[in-house]
Structure 1
Amino acid sequence: MPGFELVISTYNNPRSLALCLDSLRQQRKLPQSVAFADDGSGLETAAVIDGFRLTGVTVRHVWHPDDGFRKCEILNKAIASSAADYLVLIDGDILMHPGFLERHLTLARPGQYLTGSLIRLNADATSRVTPDLVRDGTVFRQDWLRRNGALGSLSAWLKSSPLPLPAMALMDRLSPVRPSLSGANASAFRADLLRVGGYDERMKYGGEDKELGERLQNAGIRGRHLRYTAPAVHLDHPRGYANPEDRARNRALLAQTRRDRLTHTDFGIGRPAA
C-alpha cells in the first residue's frame, strides 16, 4: 500500500482534538503523515497540534482565518497540498478504535471510497471521557458504551463491532443501507478526490460530505461500507454554525448533483481564485 495521510478537520475544540490524538497513538497502523485541516481555530488548538509528536509521522497544520463555517475550503486545501496517494478523513471530535486505520488501509482500492459510521456519545458521556479511558480502550467496550447510553439500538451495538472481524465484515457486505460518504469516517485515493474536484465550497454545514459522495458515485468511484468494522466514537459538541438557510441551500445542491448526475464541481479544488 502506498503512503497514506490522515486528514483531521478541526475547529476550536482542543479537548476533543487532544482525545482524538490519544486514539491515534493507539493505532495498529500509523499514517506517514497527519494533516490538520483547521477552519480558523485559535491558540488553544494550535498548542495541541504543536505538542503532537509521534515517531515516524510528519505533521502539517493547514489553517486559514476564521470567517464562518468554511470546512469544505480548508479540507480542499489539505487534500490539494497532500503528497500522499491515499487519504483517510476524520473529524477532530472522533475517537478511533485501535484497528480503525488498519481496516481502512486493508480495503483501500482505486476507484472505490470507504465510509463508516459513528457511535454517538451525549454531552454527559462526552464529559466523562478521559485520556486514560481512550488509551486503554475502555471507550470502545460495549459495557462502557451501554452504561453511558450509546448503545440504545441494535444498529448502535453492531457499530461497536462486538463480534469477531469476519462476522462483522459479513455484516458490512449484507447491510441494506446504501453507502453515503461520512467525512468523519471515510477514505479514498487522493487522485479520485481530485478527479471530482473535492468538496463543493459553496456548501456549509449539513450534507457536504454526502454531496461529495454522490459525485464520486456518479464518476464511477463506488462506495463500500465499513459500517461495522471501523468503530469510531463521536464526542458531543455544540453546533452554533448550523442554520436553516445553509441546510436548504445544501439540500438544493445535493438534489442538483443527483438529478444531473454531476461528476465534478467547479467550486472546489482548482477553482479560480476569487
Structure 2
Amino acid sequence: MRSELIMTTYNSTRALALCLESVLQQTVMPDSICIADDGSGPETAKLIEDFKTRFAPVAIRHVWHADNGFEKCAILNRAIATSEAEFLFFIDGDVLIHPSFLARHRALAQRGRFCTGSLIRLDDPTTKALTEDDIISGRVYDRNWLKTRGAIDRLGTWLKTMPFPMPLQNLLDVLTPVQKALCGANWSAFREDILAVNGFDESIKYGGLDKELGIRLQNNGTKGRHLRYTAPLVHQDHPRGYKDPEKIKRHKALIQGVRTSGRTWTENGIVKGPARA
C-alpha cells in the first residue's frame, strides 16, 4: 500500500520546519510527502529544497498555486488529484506529530473508513520558544512539559498525552462519546474514498471545510474512526487574519444542508460539475 503525507502551508517557514522535523522522527515513514502550498513566497520553496536531502529516499513534492487569498481547499484538491498513493495522511504544516502518529493511522487504514484525531494546543509564548531539540528529544509531547506550559487544561487533554498502554488508550478512543467529525489537521483515508465524493468543496474558505468533507464521506458510507487518544499531535499557535464571521456563518448553513440532504458529491471539488453517471 503506497502512502503519502499531505501537509498544507502558507508563508510559515518556521512552523513548517518544525513540523517537518517531527515527520523525520516517525517510526513509520510515508512513501512520499506532498507539501500543498496555498501561495507562499520563495522562502518556503527554499526550505523544502533544503529538507529534500534529509528525507531521502522519501520523495518530497511541492504543489503550489499563486496566492489568491485563503484557498486551502483548492490546493488540497490539487494535491489529492496528482497523488500516486493509495492511502493519504493529512496534517497542517503548523503541527508537530508524535513519533507513532503515522504508524497509528496506517495500522487502522481500511477502505471505507477515515480516521481522525484531535489537537493539543500550545499558546503563543510556548510556540515562539520552541526549538528543534524540543522536537528531536520528544519533550514537546511530554505531559509534564505540556502541563507546565498551560497546554493541559482538562482531563481530556491529559489523556491525549497517552499516559496508559496502547490497549487502554484504544479503548478510550472507542468508548468516548464524541462526534466523528473530520479534523483537517489530523486525518487519513484511502484516496479512492476521497475521490468518490470529489474531494473538498472549494466554495468553502476558512471555517468548516474539513467537517463538510467528513459529512459527505459518511453520507457515502465511509465511516469515521476517532483517534482522539492514540494519535496525538501538538498545534503551534498562529494568528488567523483570514477568519471571516460572515463566511463562517454561511459555511455552517451549507454544512447543515449537506447533513440533512445526505449529499455526497460537491460540484466545486476536484472535478468541476455534477458527478458522471
TM, length-normalised to structure 2? 0.97
2-structure distance, mates of 1:160, 1:48:
30
Correspondence for 2:177: 176
Structure 2 unaligned spans of 5+: none
Correspondence for 2:34: 35
2-structure distance, mates of 1:218, 1:252:
17
How far 1:259 sits from its partner (Å)? 1.4
Amino acid at match of 1:11: Y
Q: More deviation in 255-264 or 190-199?
A: 255-264
How far 1:125 sits from its partner (Å)? 1.0
Residues 85-117 of structure 1: CA deviation (Å, up to 9, x unaligned): 000000000100000000000000000000000
Residues 186-240 of structure 1: CA deviation (Å, up to 9, x unaligned): 0000000000010000000011100000000000000001100001000000000
Correspondence for 1:44: 43
How far 1:141 sits from its partner (Å)? 0.3
2-structure distance, mates of 1:117, 1:205:
18
Secondary structure of 2:203's aligned partner: coil
Secondary structure of 2:51's aligned partner: coil
Correspondence for 1:112: 113
Query: Residue 146 in 1 paired to residue 154 in 2?
Result: no
Aligned residues: 271
Structure 1 unaligned spans of 5+: none
Instruction: Tell me how large the CA RMSD over aligned residues is.
Output: 0.7
Report % sequence identity: 53
Runs of 4+ residues over 4 Å off in structure 1: none
TM, length-normalised to structure 1? 0.98
Correspondence for 1:76: 77
Secondary structure of 1:51's aligned partner: helix
After superposition, residues 150-229 of structure 1 pair within 5 angstroms as 150-229=151-230
How far 1:66 sits from its partner (Å)? 0.4
2-structure distance, mates of 1:246, 1:7:
26
How far 1:248 sits from its partner (Å)? 1.4
How far 1:44 sits from its partner (Å)? 1.6
Secondary structure of 1:167's aligned partner: helix
How far 1:55 sits from its partner (Å)? 2.4
Q: More deviation in 48-57 or 257-266?
A: 48-57
Amino acid at match of 1:28: T
Residues 2-56 of structure 1: CA deviation (Å, up to 9, x unaligned): 0100000011111000000000000000011000000001122112111113122
